[in-house]
Amino acid sequence: MKQDTKKIEAIIAPPPAHMVGDGFRVHSFFPGHELIDKKRMSPFFLMDYGSKIEFTPSEEPRGVGVHPHRGFETVTIAYHGRIAHHDSAGHSGIIGEGDIQWMTAASGLLHKEYHEKEFSKQGGLFQMVQLWVNLPAKYKMTSPKYQEITNASIGKYQLPDNNGVVEVIAGEYKNPATPEQVTPGAASTFTPMHVYNVKLKKEASVQLTFPADYNTGLLVVEGNVTINGQLALADHFVLFKNEGNTIDITAGEEAILLVLSGEPINEPIAQYGPFLMNKWEELEQAFTDVNSGKFGVLED
Ligand code: MN
């Protein structure tokens, strides 16, 4: 291994799945894992992974009804199936394979998340990820915001020899072979981070480089890969140590990886249900504000 290799801390198998509403069967990789507490992957606070599942046709779209959020962003990444979203800030949208919805709840909103109507009627394969990205205290009470990021709008770095592509959702990507070429990410973020979907052909290789202090991990969404010499299978999460910079990846078969790397937010965390703040009193205030209608109105 090279001197600056970013070593693997653990390869984590998917925890038992549970349902969120009746539409999202997810493995909650973090927080709550013994190796990944509420800060270990900061600014990424939560990762729910909906591994592949076949939904039967349903006239009534499955999903999660109206609920509030405050203090962070929800980022939904679709791999199979289609998801519809509505919120009390007036945003709505539908995302499908390869698309991303980046919703900044910030000071607070109500939203609902469902399988898209036509997808629901037909049924079919469904696979997605939802991340909760924390906001620093100074941005927690800013206005809600919504970025619908279609696959076509995502910056893509084509790997040499038609070996695959790095889709840059946020941050930027530079290949060591062509360091002058910077591929910028599609999403605007409040703190520095890199989020990629890396799509590799069988036996293709890619090298990723991140600052040593950035919290870094990746989910094997499809296929399997060898990372710095270690095999990681589909549906597993690879957590990296906060030392070294370089990650060498080779696909054993055609693979998709969701890569996360971000500068930690070093602030206290107070979390309860759908609220992610710094202090307990701010959670109490969130409840008060929801109950007094400050998060707006959204019909179920
Ligand atoms: Mn939600």
Domain boundary among 151, 174, 202: 151
Residue 115: partners with Cβ closer than 8 Å, 6 or more residues away: 23, 55, 58, 61, 62, 63, 81, 82, 83, 84, 126
Residue 143 and residue 210 in one domain: no
- Here the CATH number for the domain that contains residue 240 is 2.60.120.10
Residue 147 and residue 159 in one domain: no
Residue 100 and residue 67 in one domain: yes
- The H or E element containing residue 119 is helix 117-122
Query: Is 161 strand, coil or helix?
Result: helix
Count of domains observed in the chain: 2
Q: How far is the CA of 38 from the centre of ligand 1 (A)?
A: 18
Q: Is residue 32 part of a domain?
A: yes
Residue 63 and residue 123 in one domain: yes
For residue 300, give Cα distances in angstroms to 63, 85, 107, 175, 176.
11, 12, 21, 46, 49
Residue 197 and residue 125 in one domain: no
Q: How far is the CA of 83 from the centre of ligand 1 (A)?
A: 12
Residue 187: partners with Cβ closer than 8 Å, 6 or more residues away: 75, 100, 102, 147, 149, 169, 170, 195
Q: How far is the CA of 2 from the centre of ligand 1 (A)?
A: 42
Residue 120 and residue 31 in one domain: yes
Q: How far is the CA of 170 from the centre of ligand 1 (A)?
A: 20
Q: How far is the CA of 158 from the centre of ligand 1 (A)?
A: 33
pLDDT tens per residue across all 300 residues of the chain: 566 999 999 999 999 999 999 999 999 999 999 999 999 999 999 999 999 999 999 999 999 999 999 999 999 999 999 999 999 999 999 999 999 999 999 999 999 999 999 999 999 999 999 999 999 999 999 999 999 999 999 999 999 999 999 999 999 999 888 889 999 999 999 999 999 999 999 999 999 999 999 999 999 999 999 999 999 999 999 999 999 999 999 999 999 999 999 999 999 999 999 999 999 999 999 999 999 999 999 988
Cα 37 from Cα 48, distance rounded (Å)? 14
**Cα dihedral: 187, 101, 300, 21 (round 10):** -130
Residue 45 and residue 144 in one domain: yes
Residue 98 and residue 185 in one domain: no
Q: Is residue 46 part of a domain?
A: yes
Residue 47 and residue 21 in one domain: yes
Q: Indicate yes or no: pTM above 0.95.
A: yes
**CB neighbourhood size of 70 (10 A):** 26
Range of the domain at 162: 155-262
Q: How far is the CA of 112 from the centre of ligand 1 (A)?
A: 7
Cα 260 from Cα 69, distance rounded (Å)? 22
Q: How far is the CA of 167 from the centre of ligand 1 (A)?
A: 25
Domain boundary among 151, 175, 209: 151
DSSP state of 17: P
